[in-house]
Amino acid sequence: MSEHEGLVSAYASDAERDAEVSVRPKRLAEFIAQHRVRDQLDLLLRGAMGRGAPPDHILLSGPPGLGKTTLANIVAAELGSSIRVTSGPAIERSGDLAAILTSLAEGDVLFIDEIHRIAKPAEELLYSAMEDFRVDVVVGKGPGATAIPLDVEPFTLVGATTRSGLLTGPMRDRFGFVAHLDFYSPADLETLLHRSARILGVPITDDGATEVAGRSRGTPRIANRLLRRVRDFAEVRADGVVNRENARAALAVYDVDERGLDRLDRAVLTALVDSFRGGPVGLSTLAVAVGEQPDTVEEVCEPFLVRAGLLARTPRGRVATEAAWHHLGRTPPTGTFGAAPPATPDLFSAET
Ligand SMILES: Nc1ncnc2c1ncn2[C@@H]1O[C@H](COP(=O)(O)OP(=O)(O)OP(=O)(O)O)[C@@H](O)[C@H]1O
Ligand SMILES: [Mg+2]
């Protein structure tokens, strides 16, 4: 299984990204939660509109599925501007970027997704465009090459990244505003689910929303996906309503448990607890025990298990926390948790 598959993966296929458009909030007022970011953006955009100038360049950082693309589109909508969309990997040559930049109209929003993956020469071209609204396009090769300066209309760059740590210092410094998106609380996801259900025309009860929200790993994308799966179940096998009973039954079919763990997540914890008495055990041993590649265990399962306070990475290996034993319905042995740091579930702060 790759990290791009699975019902509780935060990554989306192209088809899913298309499906997401219908429930995507269009304006800042519809964007759920993230109050700090919303407030700051509201001020930034209103301030700029008051002055009649494009706002500072905006960097949106945070894990997948938390609303970066959504916010980029909202920025353009609030400004009443057109948005041009591209991505770091799509800009292979600086000429590609120069063509985009010089075709922008005054006040346009340029959205560069996965901006940490932009090629170096293009990145340098972007610096001068962001700072001075001009680019030097080099024509020709070798000693005869000449740089032709071209003007770029004042625009706003919105960059998105899931890996802000990979951005270069000069790149980061050129953004006047940096927004970090955090994981959502279950209560926020309930609000989000009620909104999505209304748009999709699916009846949902409060306890149904609570049930789905609790399994969504703090991520709007996962919440919306689970909602679609529960809707299928409710329509095919029940009365069409997303309530607690239908949500539980549907997500049992899909092997997603109360905390949002899937089959592999649970296999990892079960192996730790049952075969290694809670650990510590090395990553490769643990991977063999569940029949997966170490990379998969480390990159697909562990981030969420750690965030949920169910697994700890220690210098001596992986350890199941006390909460993990309880989650599996086992009684933890007493006095074995000195080796592991205390389990502090930290579901809502995003580390990038
Ligand atoms: N605050 C929010 N309110 C309502 N819906 C949201 C919110 N944030 C995200 N969503 C929904 O979650 C889905 C995923 O959001 P989005 O595509 O913006 O995530 P992303 O951060 O760009 O992810 P990726 O890093 O994979 O590109 C969208 O369908 C969007 O409708
Ligand atoms: Mg996106």
Average pLDDT over residues 45-65: 97
The string of pLDDT tens digits covering residues 100-113 is 999 999 999 999 99
Q: What is the pLDDT of residue 268?
A: 97
Per-residue confidence (pLDDT) for residue 6, from 0 to 100: 86
- Quote the pLDDT of residue 141: 83
Q: Is 307 a catalytic residue?
A: no
- Shortest CA distance to 209 belongs to which of 193, 233, 186? 193
* 220 — pLDDT class (breaks 50, 70, 90): very high
Question: What pLDDT is stored for residue 343 in this prediction?
Answer: 52
Mean pLDDT of 243-267: 96
Per residue in 82-131, pLDDT (tens digit) is 999 999 999 988 899 999 999 999 999 999 999 999 999 999 999 999 99
Q: Which of 33-42, 135-144, 203-212 has the lowest mean pLDDT?
A: 135-144
**Is residue 352 pLDDT above 70, yes or no?**
no
In this predicted structure, what is the pLDDT of residue 92?
85
pLDDT in tens, 134-172: 999 888 888 888 889 999 999 999 999 999 999 999 999
Q: Measured in angstroms, how far is the CA atom of residue 87 from the centroid of ligand 2?
A: 10
Task: Mark whether 113 is an active-site residue.
Answer: yes
**Among candidates 30, 1, 68, 66, which has minimal Cα distance to 293?**
1
pLDDT (0 to 100) of residue 298: 95
3-state secondary structure at position 314: strand
Catalytic residue of the set 215, 217, 221, 259: 221
246-256 burial code (b ≥16 CB/10 A, e <16): bbbebbeebeb
Is residue 1 over pLDDT 80? no
Q: What is the Cα–Cα distance from 82 to 109, expressed in whole angstroms?
A: 6
Q: Phi then psi for 278, rounded to 5 degrees?
A: 90, -5
pLDDT band of residue 350 (cuts 50, 70, 90) is low
Span from the CA of 81 to the centroid of ligand 1 (angstroms): 20
User: What distance in angstroms lies between residue 75's CA and the mean position of ligand 1's atoms?
Assistant: 14
The full DSSP string for 58-74 is EEEE-STTSSHHHHHHH
Pairing of strands 83-87, 109-113: parallel
Residue set of the binding site for DNA: 313, 318
Q: Could you give all domains of the chain from N- to C-terminal order, each with its CATH number?
A: 34-180 (3.40.50.300), 186-253 (1.10.8.60), 263-327 (1.10.10.10)
Instruction: Give yes or no for residue 64 having a pLDDT over 60.
Output: yes
Counting residues of the chain whose pLDDT is more than 70, the rounded percentage is 94
pLDDT in tens, 282-308: 999 999 999 999 999 999 999 999 999
Any ligand 1 atom below 6 A from CB of 66? yes
